[in-house]
Amino acid sequence: MKVSVVDYTGKETGRKADLSDAVFAIEPNNHALYLDVKQYLANQRQGTHKAKERGEISGSTRKIKKQKGTGTARAGSIKSPVFKGGGRVFGPRPKDYSFKLNKNLKRLARKSALSLKSQEQSIIVVEDFNFEAPKTKQFIDVLKSLGIQGKKSLFVLGDSNNNVYLSSRNLAESSVVTSSELSTYKILNAQSLVIFESSIAGIESNLI
């Protein structure tokens, strides 16, 4: 599969990048996508929720009224969940929400996500570029030139590029990752996928 390469000003370079059909043109597997996104979101959960049950709250342990003769239900403790300030019944406890998926399924999910973006024609291959210093304004100029300002975008770098990463950090709609940090969730969450020319080999070697 051939895709035209543009520079950071959005102009054609006259070159075409060869994207592997085994990564960018497979039949997407929706269930693999679902499981990988579910795992990513589950792993983001802290799971630190906690409510006190009747054995954990502070309060008197005396019997608050006599057992019989009151005409109301018997009550043995002010900590009972039926009273205001009492413990909670079956409240949330700290929990680890993470779960495992095998590597082949995660690889299939990423290939499916890339193939979906390819079908939507949402992939832009850009010639490698760098900034002399971190400048958000320069990064915004790149987004304007590529016609993706105001859209959620994901930039995939071949190698770590601190200036480009720091330039994008103030922009909520744009994120920058290296080819080894690419995830199914991030691919699907972006409206436009901007791939640096040098990252193609890394993406394909990780997924084939």
Instruction: Quote the pLDDT of residue 181.
Output: 92
Instruction: Quote the pLDDT of residue 136.
Output: 94
Domains and CATH numbers, the chain: 2-45+100-207 (3.40.1370.10), 49-96 (no CATH)
Q: For the chain, what is the radius of gyration of the CA atoms?
A: 27
The answer to whether 32 and 153 have CB atoms below 8 angstroms apart is no
Mean pLDDT, rounded, for 39-65: 93
Query: pTM (2 decimals)?
Result: 0.84
Q: Provide the token pair at 138.
A: 């320069």
**In terms of Cα–Cα distance, which of 184, 179, 120 is closest to 155?**
179
Residue 182 pLDDT more than 90? yes
